[in-house]
Amino acid sequence: MMKEKSLLVAFCVGFALLIVVNGGEYLIGVGSYDMTGPAAGVNMMGYANLDQNTAGIHFRLRARTFIVAESSQGARFAFVNLDAGMASQLVTIKVLERLKSRFGNLYTEENIAISGIHTHAGPGGYLQYLIYSITSLGFVQQSFDAIVTAIEQSIVQAHNNLKPGSIFINQGDVENAGINRSPSAYLLNPPEERAQYSANVDKEMTLLKFVDGASEKSIGAFSWYATHGTSMSKDNKLISGDNKGAAARFFEDWFTSSTKSSSNVITNSSTSSNNEKSNEKAEKIKATGGSRCGKTTSQGSKVRKNDGSLFVGAFCQSNVGDVTPNVLGAFCTDSGKPCDFNHSSCHGSDLLCLGRGPGYPDEILSTKIIGERQFQKAVDLFNSASEKLSGKIDYRHVYVNFTDIEVELNGNKVKTCPAGLGPGFAAGTTDGPGVFGFQQGDTEINKLWKKLRDVLKKPSQYQEECQKPKAILLSSGEMFEPYAWAPAILPIQMLRLGKLVILSVPGEFTTMAGRRLREAVKETLIINGNGEFDNDTHIVIAGLTNTYSQYIATFEEYKHQRYEAASTLYGPHTLSAYVQEFNILAKSMAKEEKVAKGPLPPDLYSVQLSLSINPIGESPPPNIKFGDIKQDITQPKSGSFEKGDRPSATFWSADPRYDLLTEGTYAVVEMLQGERWIPVYDDDDFCLFYRWKLDNTTWNSLATIEWEVPKDTSSGVYRLRHFGSSKKTKDAPNEYFTGASSAFTLS
């Protein structure tokens, strides 16, 4: 009898869900998971700077996911936003394998999009093509595993959270968060085309707001806006989500604080008598020696414990190719004058031309400001969102060999080329200059560089003709030893959510290239859609999605051969090929027709090479324990720290690669409440810095925790606490430790 009742209840609930969803709502779910990766000794992905190896954490990286479904058995898709430089074909392949073992064919390459925010401050070594792992000394298993696991867990979380709800869409302009870093190339686009737009970058942000149908409470928000993750420079060594990761942290904390009841807010009197008592109490609490702790102890000290119920706010990337967050412009470091307009160089040198963020010369401040500008616009759009999405969920996905696509252009047939990079690629950008001796706009290569190039691979005559006016510095599409240097087969994908269509592109479209793609797809949908699509259809580009294939410039921009054009892999007609192939997808979606899957990309996991060295065991110096203080808090003469001060302490520690402390923390600020220490900030906070380095004399690891005291911090007694793990030998079990600084007073 009980079994029959259970079946009846399940049937009724399922039937009710179907009615609710079909009545104008969807099933919605969001998820988030820590993907920070190794915080020591791993080269960062983005700037290709051999010296830029991780050495601590600015704030943690996360994978954030939303899932929408028409019903429990109906069409659905999952969109994953990574605090990473870009997506990776190999990551996608392995994530899909894991999801298949969990869910069968519910989530596949067809209906999952994995998109990177393009931070240049995350651990590298997770992409499968050789050119993207040279500076990381090949494949980094720990970095790869952290990302794959985070994507999987965020999807599982979102799946388990699915419930009836509504989705609202809103759009608006973000001011002064991005400028064009290649304006001379943009000006080569037709004047009549440029006249259609008010700026040489796209300012529009598109935001989705997810609302629980039962409680009418918001559970998440995802937005798309184009600006590079290069507020943090190529000299930075702290893991950071850059401006978009910062915006996500600000947004999630804002939502939590705005919905928290006043009874949970910590308040303290700042009277002089209380300060005196606090000082007396702080003086009695000295640094604790290092001590053993459990594997999950640091998770218990997290300020935001991930139980799957937290609000998820994601800031996704779009057609970012030529957009920089260094909005003050580019200047010569020697003279302070603006760089050369056409080549972004100074006296012929690309190394002297650097962009300046709004907090110049403080890159942390620039990251904060650009993050806040995106966050503030997202809050405005979130609070005013009123357009409710309804209608069909659909998706299309196909693999295309981009090295040999025939495109009809103005009555002529042209083709794409094998992947190749020009000298402008080596010059780098104003966000991060490249190699001495190159300039953006170069279409010639000197004899020395040609000889060095030919040692690796002399480009074929076909390649040189096909890629003109690009000179071939590196014919990556013709290089296959020890395995493929560049991708040939790329995924392209369209996701439909009513009148929102997301274009998943595996690269960085420039501003005008993105505009052309959006307009072409929209026109194709309207022409073929039998009234389902119109001028109110929202088209969004999700950049750096599912795999990575560098840049896509327009045909006119390609002639200039600045960095973006020199990095447009498949030749001058790359954009035309994308437009053609996406139009095929758009037509099939509008007509509700299927498309052929196309040739599968390779799985190169088994042939990956790695030259990076992992830690093999560590012991502290004699008479010292891991977690002991090396340099305690330097107490201020006044007896109390003030808002804006930066108290810090250094601990004897171990390499953070022994355990990533996923969903835990290496650093905590604790506040004394009664007789208990309560965590108030951790290494997921923008204001707390965890720095790792080797001691110059003992060659032991040191961990420095530095807290920039926020203006809204309550007065009271605080201390800094460190968590870590170690191994005596490579194969020994992990041992976990903790230690704390002396207490100090904040007035």
Q: Which residue positions form the known binding site for Zn(2+)?
A: 118, 228, 508, 551
Instruction: Tell me which residue of 581, 737, 686, 557 sits closest to 232, measured CA to CA.
Output: 686
Q: Which residue has the tokens 């959006």?
A: 518
Instruction: Tell me which residue of 322, 711, 248 sits closest to 512, measured CA to CA.
Output: 322
Rounded to whole angstroms, the Cα distance separating 420 from 427 reads: 15
For Cα atoms 502, 507, 512, give the angle at the middle one, nearest 5 degrees: 75
For Cα atoms 637, 641, 646, give the angle at the middle one, nearest 5 degrees: 110
DSSP summary character for residue 72: S
Q: Assess contact for 150 and 63: CB atoms under 8 A.
A: yes
Tally the C-alpha atoms within 13 A of residue 557's C-alpha that lie toward its C-beta.
33
Helix 363-384 / helix 242-259 crossing angle, nearest 10 deg = 50
- Residue 46: CB atoms within 10 Å: 25
Rounded to whole angstroms, the Cα distance separating 210 from 611 reads: 44
> What is the token pair recorded at 70?
């028409």
The amino acid at residue 85 is G
Q: Which residue has the tokens 């609490």?
A: 285
Q: Which residue has the tokens 């991060």?
A: 432
> What is the token pair recorded at 76?
């659905």
Listing DSSP states for 128-186 in one string gives SSGGGTTTTTB--HHHHHHHHHHHHHHHHHHHHT-EEEEEEEEEEEPPSS-EES-HHHH
Rounded to whole angstroms, the Cα distance separating 444 from 464 reads: 12
Q: Which residues contact 2 (CB under 8 A, 6 or more apart)?
A: none
Q: Assess contact for 209 and 221: CB atoms under 8 A.
A: yes
Rounded to whole angstroms, the Cα distance separating 297 from 278 reads: 27
Q: Assess contact for 223 and 381: CB atoms under 8 A.
A: yes
Instruction: Tell me which residue of 236, 211, 208, 204 sits closest to 221, measured CA to CA.
Output: 208
Rounded to whole angstroms, the Cα distance separating 314 from 63 reads: 9
- Look at strands 179-180 and 62-69 and give their pairing: unpaired
**Annotated binding site, which residues?**
118, 228, 508, 551
| Backbone torsions φ then ψ of 8, nearest 5 degrees | -65, -45
Provide the H-helix boundaries in 23-135.
Answer: 89-103
